[in-house]
Structure 1
Amino acid sequence: MPDQQWRKSSYSSTNPQCVELLVGLGSTAVRDSKNRDAGTLSFSRAAFAAFLVGVKKG
């Protein structure tokens, strides 16, 4: 996903303690914005979509 840009919530514009997402065609990568060199977690598109459904349901 080299052509993509990492994104974080617009609600955390001044807060460095959040997660960042790199969304690609087949997967989504997640990293800690305050420790970017610590690595990333990668999820399939379906797994990340299921995670978002769960978050929205509470």
Structure 2
Amino acid sequence: MPNSPWQKSSYSGANSECVEVRAIAGVIELRESDEGDVIVRTTAPNFAALLQGAKAGEFDCLATSRA
């Protein structure tokens, strides 16, 4: 599989701990920058649904919970 550059959110700032994403061979891949060997793969439609839900605030409760 050819290499594709990872992108991180501008919200990550100077912090090296962030979620990175890339599109490769028709698949969307996500990983945490500090655990680069663990990659989650999904389809573009599923990733779009995740982004839509995040933008709508559907997951805000998870950001403040202490799991």
TM class by smaller structure: 0.7 to 0.9
1:16-48 deviation digits (Å, cap 9, x = unpaired): 1111001236221000101112x2000101100
Larger Rg: 1 or 2? 2
What is the aligned length? Answer: 57
Instruction: Work out the CA distance in 2 between the residues paired with 1:16 and 1:35.
Output: 11
Q: Give runs of ≥4 in structure 1 deviating > 2 Å.
A: none
TM-score normalised by length of structure 1? 0.80
Which one has more relative contact order, counting CA pairs under 8 Å at least 6 apart?
1
Tell me which protein shows more strand as a share of its residues. 2
Structure-1 residue corresponding to 2:43 = 44
Could you say if the C-alpha distance between residues 2 and 25 of structure 1 is closer, same or farther in structure 2, counting changes exceeding 3 Å?
closer
TM-score normalised by length of structure 2? 0.71
Identity of aligned residues (%): 40
Give the CA deviation at 1:11.
2.5
Could you say if the C-alpha distance between residues 47 and 36 of structure 1 is closer, same or farther in structure 2, counting changes exceeding 3 Å?
same
**Cα root mean square deviation, aligned:** 1.6
Structure 2 unaligned spans of 5+:
58-67
Structure 1 unaligned spans of 5+:
none
